[in-house]
Amino acid sequence: MSDHLLILRLAGDFYTKARATRIRFQRRLAQNLRDALTSNGIPHKLETTWSRYYLETPTTAALDVLPRVFGIQSVSLVERRPWSELADIARTGVEIFGEGVQGRTFAVRASRRGGREGIPFDSQVVERELGAALLRQAPGAKVNLREPDVTAHVELEPGWGHYFHDKVRGFGGLPVGVEGRALALVSGGFDSAVASWLMLKRGVQLDYLFCNLGGAAHRLGVLKVMKVVADLWSYGYRPRLYEVDLQPLIPELQEKNRPRNWQIVLKRLMLRAGEAVARKTRNLGLITGEAMGQVSSQTLQNLAVISQAVSPSMPVLRPLVGFNKDEILALARKMGVYDLSAAVGEYCDLVPKRPSTKASLSEVLKDEATMTRGRLEELVEARTVYDLRNLDERAISPTGLETDSIPESSTVLDLRSRSAWQAWHYPGALHLDFQHALETWRSFEKEKNYVLVCEVGLKSAHLAEVMRQEGFRSRYFRGGLRELMAAAEKNRLADPALALLLAPAVRG
């Protein structure tokens, strides 16, 4: 069928399972592999065996896709050749590896699959025989078993040898879907995306809940992040994202709850929304991106109070609980969501000056009891559903709020940090950091035309949308600061050298 043969090796977890469980896992892995290849338009023929899968394909594109299928330990592009005696293996090895080891150091690594009846010699014998043949016939070649320039790999089966140079490492884990279904609460930031990835890696099939506090712009940022997770890491099923708009609850939450408990009550509302959606969609548990001690709401005491918002039969799993922030960011880079998550701002304005680090459950329950009953359930019932794998981002982008020019007489508000604004800003732009803007925008003059600017356009789009709903003439600059600087350079209002001062997320 094809020009290329790939070996797919199974993750170590498979080898610890009972036979019936392993068969079930391997069937699901094959299903997920076929979905990954088909979704990426890669023709293929997949052969499954007890400890290896073999893939025939006319393109090497599969090497980019298959390592992202959980349950795969490594992938190699191989040449398959027949053998009947040891000399055949050495001769074929010289033919395949001889030119590549000339004038370089090398090592031979051999392994075997099959009993002594089918392969009557050990792996070490193959390594010595092929190594000696390469030294004889490859000018300038030298053996270096610790740090070779070239590694010659041979995997033997009875009657067949597979020869290859490299192993493309996968991420191991379990095939998505073998460990049941759960609902992950996501915000578009690093933590919730990485927590979701870790649970997918352990075989849990995920749907997602987004509790919207930032309008259309926040929705777009979250959907961009979660579409990457769906497209690159969720093979074998079609994940859905449920959006529940919690914005209508915020005024009452602020009015009837002590400010020090605002974040705690909000997290409890989110968990209760998650439990309601999970039960309606037959998901068995909730996943969050909380890490111990990362922010004030994530102390052990506060996590205990938050967790008691749901019933004991709905487990809340926190895969990042012991992670450091740098570890989370490293995984976000591996996943391919780092830049997108960096662009998704913190949209919640429930940030008291002195948040509680040791919330009292009785105090929180007393405050919650004053809120309107049934309102959260109404918002859950009104949820919106997105099919992430088939999502058209153009259909959910904010419209009518953007601009790619600065009209005369407009008031330009730069929502970045003061240091970033001081490094460069559009001539005449006023500085107002995003958090302060969220607190004070109602005091702005309605007669003015406002153009809002931030790093990549998400925070400014959110504030422009909120202001527009209250009758302000507000728009945001499409594409954020990078596009604004390009416009300023075009009109000779900015020095191109100043672009070096922009943050990496802005420079792109």
Q: Residue 401 has what pLDDT?
A: 84
Task: Name the one residue in this structure whose structure tokens are 């040791």.
Answer: 358
DSSP string, 333-366: HHHT-HHHHHHS--------SS--SS--HHHHHH
Q: What is the mean pLDDT of residues 215-239?
A: 93
Question: What is the distance between the alpha carbons of residues 338 and 334, in angstroms, rounded to a whole number?
Answer: 8
CA–CA distance, 25 with 420 (Å, rounded to integer): 51
Question: What pLDDT was estimated at residue 1?
Answer: 47
Q: pLDDT tier at 497 (50, 70, 90 boundaries)?
A: very low
Q: Which residues contact 394 (CB under 8 A, 6 or more apart)?
A: none
Whether 494 shows a pLDDT value over 70: the answer reads no
Give residue 395's pLDDT band: very low, low, confident or very high (50, 70, 90). low
What is the band of 2 on the pLDDT scale with cuts at 50, 70, 90?
low
Task: In whole angstroms, give the CA distance from residue 425 to residue 463.
Answer: 19
- In contact, 72 and 170? CB cutoff 8 Å: yes
pLDDT tens-digit map of 18-65: 999 999 999 999 999 999 999 999 999 999 999 999 999 999 999 999
What is the tens place of the pLDDT at every residue in 289-312?
999 998 888 999 999 999 999 999
Query: Residue 2 contacts by C-beta under 8 Å, 6 or more apart in sequence?
Result: 43, 45, 56, 57, 58
Three-state secondary structure call for residue 376: helix
Give Rg (Cα) of the chain.
Answer: 28
Average pLDDT over residues 315-335: 97
Q: Measure the CA dihedral 53/59/61/67, to 10°.
A: 10
Mean pLDDT, rounded, for 256-271: 94
Q: Cα dihedral angle (9, 10, 15, 18), rounded to 10 degrees?
A: -130
Mean pLDDT computed over every residue of the chain: 91
Please give the share of the chain, as a percent, with pLDDT higher than 70.
94
Rounded to whole angstroms, how far apart are CA atoms 370 and 256? 7
Helices (H), 281-324: 300-307
Output the pLDDT for position 473.
Answer: 93
Q: How confident is the model at residue 396 (pLDDT cuts 50, 70, 90)?
A: low
Query: Which residues form the catalytic set?
Result: 454
Distance CA 441, CA 425 (A): 20
CA–CA separation, 444 and 428 (whole Å): 17
How far is residue 209's CA from residue 219's CA, in Å, rounded to a whole number? 11
Q: Average pLDDT of 474-480?
A: 88
d(Cα 472, Cα 470) in Å, to the nearest integer? 6
